[in-house]
Amino acid sequence: MPSAPMPSASMPSHFLSPEDQTFVARLLGQMTLAEKIGQMTQAEKNSVRPGDVARLGLGSVLSGGGGNPDLNTPASWRAMVSGLIDESLRSRLKIPLIYGSDAVHGHNNVVGATIFPHNIGLGAARDPDLVRRIGRATATEALATDVRWAFAPAVSVPQDVRWGRSYEGYSQDPGLVSELAVALIEGLRGDGQDSGPSVLPSVKHFVADAAAVWGTSRRIDRQALSTDRTLASADTGQGMAKLLDLGAWQIDQGDALIDEQTLRAVHLEPYRAATKAGALNIMASYSSWQGQKLHGHRYLLTDVLKGELGFQGFVVSDWEGVDQLGSDYGACVVQAINAGIDMVMVPFDYERFISALTQAVESGQVGLERIDDAVSRILGVKRSLGLFGQAHTDPALLEQVGSAEHRLLAREAVSRSLVLLKNDQALPLDPLGPPILVVGQAADDLGAQCGGWTVTWMGGHGPTTTGTTLLAGLRAVAGEAQVHFSPDGQTDDGQTDDSQADEGPPDRVYPVALVVLAEEPYAEGMGDRADLRLHPEQLELLERARQRCGRLVVLLLSGRPLIVSEQLPGWDALVAAWLPGSEGQGVADVLYGAQPFTGRLSYGWPASQGDLGRGADASLLFGIGDGLSVPLKAPVTG
């Protein structure tokens, strides 16, 4: 790789007025080395000791997935974040802290916030205006809690759907990814709207994280699982050994063994679009390109991103990403900062990072000009967000967290994201016809339909937050008497005739059975899976339902395409609902024909297990752009 010159310490200028540039330069000139390094430090809220934000002048604090206050309410969130901001204003120079959160499909750590569909569903909706409005609603709910930085959008272009982060990508089409990512950036910032303060988008993960090759991940040390603090925080409901057997941590954070032409043509394009749109924060990827970790990749971070693309904001590391560069922590810090990382996410040991970088500067391993460049970028972004003039947001915004308006928007997004892949005259359902049978526990599981990154890192089952399950949505549209529910496909809560009342499980045959199948909630490498075929339990559920209906409709709640080719001939309809979020009524609207099926695949759907990971050589059951439409029923209220 060609070596890169050190970036200039001059202030990036295009997003700041001359007055703001002068302000930043004057402030930088007043700062000690310790204060500068403090601004380059981002700590996780659970590790921050009282008084350290002011004492060390920390530039940022974040909540990781599940980094919530003890009482998880919007008001408690605001009190937590505002308290840390107030402490930053008691530092010598009173530089305001910027608080970050994984608001990747709504302000999803907060119980009661609106949870929008994950990106794979929004990719199927293919509507930049919809994504822009979602960005603004997400920003409003984040602003209500004083959070000014959202770690979104992910602009990955997933190549292998076995990857546990596939649902974070909008599409396998880099053009569509670019278009929707720019829309979310604009929505979070509030571009062109009388919308108040902006939230800083974080475009991630730079670069080609979605091109990693199966089997190249080195994230997991099988001998040190019990001492890994990050993994210990992942409540998956399954043992780590079982997850590893299923394929966890086989591709996430792996190595992209692609040439530079492919990297640029496919994976760099969304960053080019985001930079052109004025994005001011980019997060580096855990992954590697041709064996070299991106957190230490000076050519890509400095030459390409900051030089060629003209990126003017600051680059933040991922959670403990710097630690992965080697066994010598001090050397890792030197490599990362010299490569172009400006702020380091150090969730646990922030004083270790501060000490290591201080020693590196004092020994000459990291030049002061590199420190000044990084801090100028960070201060410039804070200035552009207005943090120096107004460190806090309006507490009246708390009324908008989970508001009826935002939930209506989420319901619209859900209805627009559904993709109808097969329909032999089974859909739409008739709300005035005979009752239907809904089969599968997932139909009444809010956590399953929200997926990962919901309240906790991995997400979970059951009423993890507030919202409407698919079952409740169906009953809201058609009426409770029209929707009978059987979690196991054997018994149901519908009424049977008196002759069957005392004869054990009812054997009633319904005109239509809707079977809801779901993946386990997961995030990141925890969701890497070697086998994407339906589980034996799901196949048994389908068989039981088949015996109780005339037509069988299957609805998948999943973060990626699943392998269904063998079963599909026995189904009368197939709907890909992805991970729709908190508003299950949006699914019901489309199933009952109150809204049309308009979603189209933004991913290729592999035909078989053997096609996974084969790229362009794979056979497809359905291609990008596929999706059916059906005539609407008469409007139904609900």
565-589 mean pLDDT:
98
Residue 482 contacts by C-beta under 8 Å, 6 or more apart in sequence? Answer: 431, 433, 435, 436, 475
Strands 60-63 and 419-423: unpaired
pLDDT reading at 104 higher than 90: yes
Query: Of 490, 532, 497, whose CA–CA distance to 513 is shortest?
Result: 490
200-228 mean pLDDT:
91
What is the pLDDT, as a whole number, of residue 15? 86
The side-by-side arrangement of strands in the sheet containing 483-486 is 419-423, 573-576, 549-557, 510-518, 436-439, 483-486
Helix (H) or strand (E) run with residue 272 in it: helix 269-276
What is the pLDDT, as a whole number, of residue 196? 72
Query: Of 552, 570, 573, 571, whose CA–CA distance to 423 is shortest?
Result: 573
Residues 557, 533 contacting (CB under 8 angstroms): no
| Cα–Cα dist 134/199, whole Å | 13
| Cα–Cα dist 298/339, whole Å | 4
Whole-number average pLDDT of the chain: 93
Residues 107, 113 contacting (CB under 8 angstroms): yes
**Residue 157 token pair:** 């272009």
**CA-CA-CA-CA dihedral for 178, 180, 181, 182, to nearest 10:** 80
Helix (H) or strand (E) run with residue 42 in it: strand 41-44
| Cα–Cα dist 307/21, whole Å | 20
9-13 mean pLDDT:
39
Task: Tell whether the torsion through CA atoms of 22, 25, 40 and 366 is positive or negative.
Answer: positive
**Residue 270 token pair:** 């969304």
CB count in 10 Å sphere of residue 362: 10
**CA-CA-CA-CA dihedral for 205, 207, 208, 214, to nearest 10:** -60
Query: Confidence class of residue 192 from pLDDT cuts 50, 70 and 90?
Result: low
Q: What is the pLDDT of residues 439-451, one digit of tens each?
A: 999 999 999 999 9
Altogether, the residues listed in the chain come to a count of: 638
Q: Measured in whole angstroms, how far is the alpha carbon of residue 76 from the centre of its chain?
A: 23
Of 213-217, 243-247, 429-433, 592-596, give the lowest mean pLDDT range.
Answer: 243-247
| Beta-bridge partners for 514 | 438, 553
What is the pLDDT, as a whole number, of residue 229? 84
Q: Please report, rounded to a whole number, the percentage of residues in the chain having pLDDT higher than 90.
A: 87
277-296 mean pLDDT:
98
What is the pLDDT, as a whole number, of residue 194? 54
pLDDT reading at 127 higher than 50: yes
Alpha helices in 157-239 (DSSP H): 174-189, 229-232
Question: Between these two residues, 220 and 638, which has the higher pLDDT value?
Answer: 220
Residues 152, 424 contacting (CB under 8 angstroms): no
CA-to-CA separations, 338 to 42, 166, 359, 600, in angstroms, rounded: 18, 31, 14, 44
Query: Confidence class of residue 507 from pLDDT cuts 50, 70 and 90?
Result: low
| Cα–Cα dist 512/510, whole Å | 5
- Of these residues, 141, 524, 528, 583, which one is catalytic? 524
What is the pLDDT, as a whole number, of residue 281? 98
Query: Of 387, 381, 389, whose CA–CA distance to 16 is shortest?
Result: 381
Query: Of 5, 33, 32, 42, whose CA–CA distance to 381 is shortest?
Result: 42
Q: The pTM is what?
A: 0.95
| Cα–Cα dist 518/580, whole Å | 12
What is the pLDDT, as a whole number, of residue 5? 36
Q: Residue 467 — φ and ψ, nearest 5°?
A: 170, -165
Residues 81, 142 contacting (CB under 8 angstroms): no
Q: What is the pLDDT of residues 252-277, one digit of tens each?
A: 999 999 999 999 999 999 999 999 99
Q: What is the pLDDT of residues 350-362, one digit of tens each?
A: 999 999 999 999 9
294-317 mean pLDDT:
98
Residue ranges and CATH numbers for the domains of the chain are: 18-213+254-399 (3.20.20.300), 217-250 (no CATH), 403-622 (3.40.50.1700)
524 is catalytic: yes
- Of these residues, 160, 318, 373, 520, which one is catalytic? 318
pLDDT reading at 502 higher than 60: no
Query: Confidence class of residue 291 from pLDDT cuts 50, 70 and 90?
Result: very high
